Amino acid sequence: MHGFANPARFLKIARPLTPWLGWGGAFLIAIGMACGLFLTPPDYLQGESVRIMYVHVPAAWLGTGGWTGIAIASLMQLVWRHPLAGVAARAVAVPGALFTALCLVTGSIWGRPTWGTWWEWDGRMTSMLVLLFLYFGYIALANASEERGSVNRVTAIFGLVGAVNIPIINRSVVWWNSLHQGPSITLKGSSIDGTILWPLGLTMLGFTLLFGAITLMRMRAQLAEIRVDARLRRMAQG
């Protein structure tokens, strides 16, 4: 990983990779959504509302995956002092918060016809709401940092400690009984019927690629901001 510590080397890869990830992700999302909306049958229990999962499941995956990325980057910053770790963590925070919010909104929309309520204070929904507040706290700390474009040590520690919530989200439907259904996709297989499951793989991959493109764009913008700030300082000293 330290081979990409040089910003110029990183940018040499990130610039051409960003549009490939962005357009590739958008294409897969469009195909997956079209197939999920028009080619798959309604669920025998949930009816047409099951189609929300083509957005809800990727949003949940990227919300938790985003914070996992923040925790890994924070660890790299604190232990190995990787120069781009703080930049990467800060870049992930906003799209991570966006997908977490999207997960909560689509979950509420899905829950209304399925559970008869917009919201239930069960383990899964509550821990996802906590994750959204953690994102807000991280973004506030990062913006308050004096290290332009990166994050300070306190923010990195916050990102690492906040990762405690990730296994709680993952196991909440197993530890506590609630309205939220149990794990539908595990290493042993899936409880979702194959006729409505297959487009989910397309939207999962598509949203993941799009998330990667957004992260790379934000990292590039932050590195440009750092360069401009350094140039202005040199001009001020000269």
pLDDT digits over 34-60, tens only? 999 999 998 877 888 899 999 999 999
Predicted confidence (pLDDT) at residue 5 exceeds the cutoff of 80: no
Closest CA to 84 of 144, 138, 149, 146: 149
Q: Residue 118 burial (CB < 10 Å; 0-12/13-18/19+)?
A: exposed
Residue 102 CA to residue 57 CA, distance in Å, equals 10
The average pLDDT across 208-220 equals 97
Report the range of poorest mean pLDDT among 1-5, 83-87, 132-136, 174-178.
1-5
| 186: β partners | 189
User: In the chain, what percentage of residues exceed pLDDT 90?
Assistant: 62
Predicted confidence (pLDDT) at residue 187 exceeds the cutoff of 60: no
Instruction: Supply the pLDDT for residue 4.
Output: 56
Predicted confidence (pLDDT) at residue 188 exceeds the cutoff of 90: no
DSSP three-state, residue 149: coil
The average pLDDT across 166-190 equals 74
What's the pLDDT band for 184 if we cut at 50, 70, 90? low
What's this model's pTM, rounded to 2 decimal places?
0.91
DSSP three-state, residue 143: helix
What's the pLDDT band for 172 if we cut at 50, 70, 90? confident
Instruction: Supply the pLDDT for residue 186.
Output: 62
The pLDDT tens digits for 140-168 are 999 987 776 678 899 999 999 999 999 99
Q: Which residue has the higher pLDDT, 81 or 231?
A: 81
Residue 238 CA to residue 235 CA, distance in Å, equals 5
Predicted confidence (pLDDT) at residue 234 exceeds the cutoff of 80: no
| 86: β partners | none
* Side chain identity at residue 34, one-letter code: A
Interacting residues of 117 by C-beta distance below 8 A, sequence separation 6+: 111, 179
Instruction: Supply the pLDDT for residue 81.
Output: 86
What's the pLDDT band for 205 if we cut at 50, 70, 90? very high
